[in-house]
Amino acid sequence: MEEEQLKGGEEQLKGGVANAGAVTRVGPHVLRPSNPHSESIHRFLRALRSAGFDRAPMPVGIDPDGRERLEFIEGEVAVPPFPPWAQSDRSLAGVALMMRSFHDASRTFDGAGSTWSSEMADPRGGPVVCHNDVCLENVVFRHGEPVGLLDFDFAAPGSPLVDLARFACMCVPIDDDVNAATLGWMAPDRPARLRLVADTYGLSGTERRGLVDAVSAVIARGGEFVRRRVEAGDPNFIEMWNDMGGAQRYDRRRHWWDERYEAFATALT
């Protein structure tokens, strides 16, 4: 991950949108803005570690200035334009396998009394706390292998299939050529890569059909979260919205998906 030296010994970590410019490293720790759900997220992260999932940062606490303090995970985070190693089938399969381990550990968490962000949550809810924003920018790699999952700000109960579908949309990617090229994707075989996600994660036949339907639902709602942030005046999201082509970016993807739905469905049979 790229770093910039700041006063006080803090190094600015670059990447991401929601907290761009506000995440720093101090020695073995990361400092980042907390939110109203940070206490619940920290309980969840500790529960994941207790359940054997060691690829999420352990929380240290909330500092007096209101920032949360977490363990720093050494490695490399890919940012657009994505380098070839981050676009490889090996990378994709590694993250899918990590997500399976994450979801299995998440099932053990007792979320009674917890609060969660609703911004990217599965509207139908669900029994498993999902990440909801697994993208290359939120995964730490070493030598091409994923070793860490970052940024649980949007974690919330939901369906693992929806969580997996969100990841697939961003990392297969399930997107048209114009949108994908903007992020540096090099025209991958998208149906084959979605099949790789399903195979690696270990989906059953019924679940594989459910994954395609979950992708349809994610694409149908595409842009809603970003639009809300833009309308609220968030400069980071305004910049991203403009750079990616605004509402046309999501309309174009919906039209592209409608024309190729059957190809993806067939690839997963």
Residue that terminates a domain, selected from 71, 93, 121: 71
Whether the pLDDT of residue 53 is over 80: the answer is: yes
* DSSP-derived secondary structure letter, 57: P
Q: Of 23, 40, 71, which residue sits at a domain end?
A: 71
Under 8 Å between Cβ of 166 and 133: yes
Query: pLDDT (tens digit, 9 = 90+) per residue, 117-153?
Result: 999 999 899 989 999 999 999 999 999 999 999 999 9
Give the list of residues 6+ apart from residue 71 with CB closer than 8 angstroms, or none.
28, 29, 30, 57, 58, 59, 60
Helical H segments across 205-246, by residue range: 205-220, 224-231, 235-243
Identify whether 79 is part of a domain: no
Q: Tokens 């980071």 — which residue? A: 236
Residue 113 and residue 47 share a domain: no
**What is the mean pLDDT of the segment spanning 4-23?**
73
pLDDT in tens, 83-113: 999 999 999 999 999 999 999 999 999 999 9
**Least confident stretch, 39-48, 188-197, 218-227:** 218-227
Give tens-digit pLDDT for 58-83. Answer: 999 999 999 999 999 999 999 999 99
How big is the chain, counted in residues? 269
- What's the pLDDT at 8? 64
The model carries a pTM of 0.93
Q: Which domain holds residue 149?
A: 84-267
pLDDT of amino acid 7: 56
Q: Is the dihedral of CA 174, 179, 184, 189 positive or negative?
A: positive
Q: Tally the domains of the chain.
A: 2
